[in-house]
Amino acid sequence: MKPVLETIDLKMVYHVGKVEVPALRGATLQVEPGEYVAIMGPSGCGKSTFLHIVGGMLKPTSGRVIIEEEDLTAMTDAQRTDLRRRKIGFVFQRFNLFPTLTAEGNLKLAERIHSGNSQDPGRRREVLKLLGLADKTHHKPLELSGGEQQRVAIARAVINRPAILLADEPTGNLDTENSDVVLDMMAQLNKELRQTIIMITHNAEAAARADRVIEMRDGHVVRSNVQVGAVQGTHK
Amino acid sequence: MDSLIAANISQRPLRTAISIIGVALGVILVTLFVGLARGMMHDAARRQSNVDAEVRFLPGGNISLAGNPLMLQQRYADAILKGVQPTADDPDVLPKPPVPGVIATTAVGEYVQSSVAGIGFEMVDGLDYKSFVQCTHLNVTKGRPLGDGETPGSEYEAIVDRYYAESGKDIDGNPIRLGSRITVLGHEFTIVGVYEPSVLARVKIPLRTMQQLLGGAENCTFVMVKCERPELADEVIEQLRRYYPGNHVIATTEIPALYSQGLAPVEIFLNVVIGLSLVISVLVILLAMYTTIIERTREIGILKSLGASKRFIVVTIEKEAALISAMGVVLGFIAAVAGKLWLEANTRLMVDLEIKWLVIAALIGIVGGIVGAIYPALRAANLDPVEAISYD
């Protein structure tokens, strides 16, 4: 089976004035379809940069990113945007929902960006039901709890059947109870819909839900299948 | 996307209201200024040409239909009708026969004064009633005809048309009726009659009084010439030009065209107004959308994370600007119609809201809005997605 994601010697250098700040120093990784992967590592190790590059939001200084046989690094900005639209779903720590739209409105917007006017109400109902949001469709984000908001964000991210769901600290803004619910939902998506998930987290309990834990340090993938407790700089 | 636009518009009511008012202001400027200029000109042209006299005789120099002072000798009226013979007072005058085909003439003085209503201006005619009615189909429907201005007590009489009588106010602010006093040329006149139809100025006073008040004794502004039959007009014009060279002789039917020519300088002013309106619309929308883009930087980052293309973001912002502009256009039209109704009810200004100019005003509002949103839209589309989504 071909990997859904492959990064090869990925490097990223930020320029802060005349100073070069390396964020990634040759990160290489493979993720299989349907895998649930957690990336851990101390702050500043390059996790978020890695996620943004894989999601096509940043262009790496060098190296390659291949998503379902499409080389992201050989693409123009517009082509990367198109690939992101077709194959990537993002979930952020701060939920990042449109506050003026209802839960359903947020999903419809994602569908509209993905498919224009041809939307799939059946898929929308399925996802909302799976994430326990069937009775919250007409609520705006401020009328929902943090956990519910994050579930809407997850629903929005998977509504268009992305090849990869990228989650950046999805439980970082949630209490334990809501974190558990969100992590359960992500696990359910992975099991029931075979959704590939790559999740950045500092939380060992969150990482423990994944099939595989990857450790990053100083811009490198230092271990690609590690026991959760063995990763330094994480907290339980 | 449409729900996103509607939500953005409703979520920021103050910004939306200010933008709509800004666009509406431009629309009001165009529709009311153009409507006022054209309405006044058309109304004046209509009343100026609404006479039986086929020919108008004016002093030499530039033709102006905007109420010349009294520059033409009144005696031309008699000369055209009856001819000229040397007299004891004027033994050297060249004798001239009556102009063939002319059956009546009347000398008219015209003066432009500030409107009594305080907004705009209004014309006043000075006339000799008896000869005037021979050259027009003027008919006093209420009260009595205008006096000659010589008979004691007739000096400060006035007659007004039905529109003036129904919409005007006297010096005490009361509705006009027979016996009301109005201010003309800085003096109080008593309304003794109401006439129909509207011919020349709406207010008419004795020519003799006008001459005394303006210091133009025995002078008038023009002479109206009535022919035996309308088809003789060209022949009469030719004779008048031959007998009295150095003066202007025009057919009454040419007057609307002359008014249209008189609009040329006004068109320059109107073009300036149109330009200003466009600038206002562009600036209002540019500032409103630019501010909105800064406020919504994070939302634009979210759109980018969802895979929205630059085109999608530009189109979304442009649609929002166009929608706000369209609302501004509608508000502008409503305000313009309200302004027209108010002006026509409270002043004697006429406003023509022509379809052509309404379309131009709408285009200015909407195109101005779309152009104004281009820079903010491009700026939003080119935001760095990572920076945008991290924006606080």
Q: Per-residue DSSP letters for A138-198?
A: T--GGGS-HHHHHHHHHHHHHTT--SEEEEESTTTTS-HHHHHHHHHHHHHHHHHH--EEE
pTM for this model (two decimals): 0.76
**Which residues are CB-contacts of A50 (< 8 A; sequence separation ≥ 6)?**
A7, A10, A24, A27, A39, A216
**Which residue among A81, A82, A96 sits closest to B389, beta carbon to beta carbon?**
A96
Q: Residues, chain B, total?
A: 392
pLDDT over 50 at A236, yes or no: no
Nearest CA in chain B to A55: B305
Contact by Cβ (8 Å): B353, B337: yes
Give percent above pLDDT 70 in chain A.
Answer: 96
- A-chain CB neighbours of B302 within 8 Å are 96-98
> 3-class SS at B190?
strand
pLDDT of res. B255: 83
- pLDDT-derived band at A27 (thresholds 50, 70, 90) equals very high
Chain A neighbours among B 216-235 (CB < 8 Å)?
none
pLDDT over 90 at A89, yes or no: yes
pLDDT of res. B2: 62
How many CA within 13 A on the CB side of residue A18?
0
> 3-class SS at A43?
coil
Crossing angle for the helix pair B13-49 and B310-346, to the nearest 10 degrees: 40
DSSP A88-131: EEEE-TT----TTS-HHHHHHHHHHHHHTT---HHHHHHHHHHT
Contact by Cβ (8 Å): B313, B376: no
- B-chain CB neighbours of A85 within 8 Å are 306-309
CA distance B19 to B25: 10
pLDDT digits (tens, 9 = 90+) for A94-149: 999 999 899 999 999 999 999 887 788 888 888 888 888 989 999 999 999 999 99
> What tokens does B3 get?
């729900």
- B-chain CB neighbours of A108 within 8 Å are 3
Task: Give the bridge partners for B75, in sequence order.
Answer: none
Q: Is B387 on the interface with A (CB under 8 A)?
A: no
**Which residue among B10, B302, B309 sits closest to A81, beta carbon to beta carbon?**
B309
pLDDT of res. B168: 79
Burial of B265: CB neighbours in 10 Å, binned 0-12, 13-18, 19+: exposed
Terminal alpha carbon distance of chain B: 23
**Mean pLDDT score of chain A:** 91
**Which residues are CB-contacts of B102 (< 8 A; sequence separation ≥ 6)?**
B80, B81, B225, B226, B227, B228, B236
> 3-class SS at A27?
strand
DSSP B142-188: EE-----S-STT-TTEEEEEHHHHHH-B-TTSPBP-TT-EEEETTEE
Return averaged pLDDT per consecutive 10 residues of chain B, 392 residues in all: 78 88 90 87 81 89 64 91 85 87 93 72 89 91 92 92 86 89 92 92 93 88 92 92 91 83 75 86 88 89 95 94 94 95 84 91 91 93 92 80
pLDDT over 50 at A155, yes or no: yes
CA distance A225 to A141: 37
Q: Which of A47, A79, A109, A168 is the best residue to mutate to test the B interface, defined by the most B CB atoms within 10 Å of its own CB?
A: A109
Contact by Cβ (8 Å): A54, A5: yes
CA distance B392 to B313: 20
Decide which of B262 and A174 is more confident. Answer: A174
Q: Kindly state the helix (H) or strand (E) to which residue A221 belongs, with its residue range.
A: strand A220-223
pLDDT of res. A152: 95
> 3-class SS at B319?
helix
Give the distance from residue B5's alpha carbon to the nearest chain A alpha carbon, in angstroms. Answer: 10
CA distance B27 to B330: 9
CA distance A224 to A29: 7
pLDDT of res. B292: 85
pLDDT of res. A83: 96
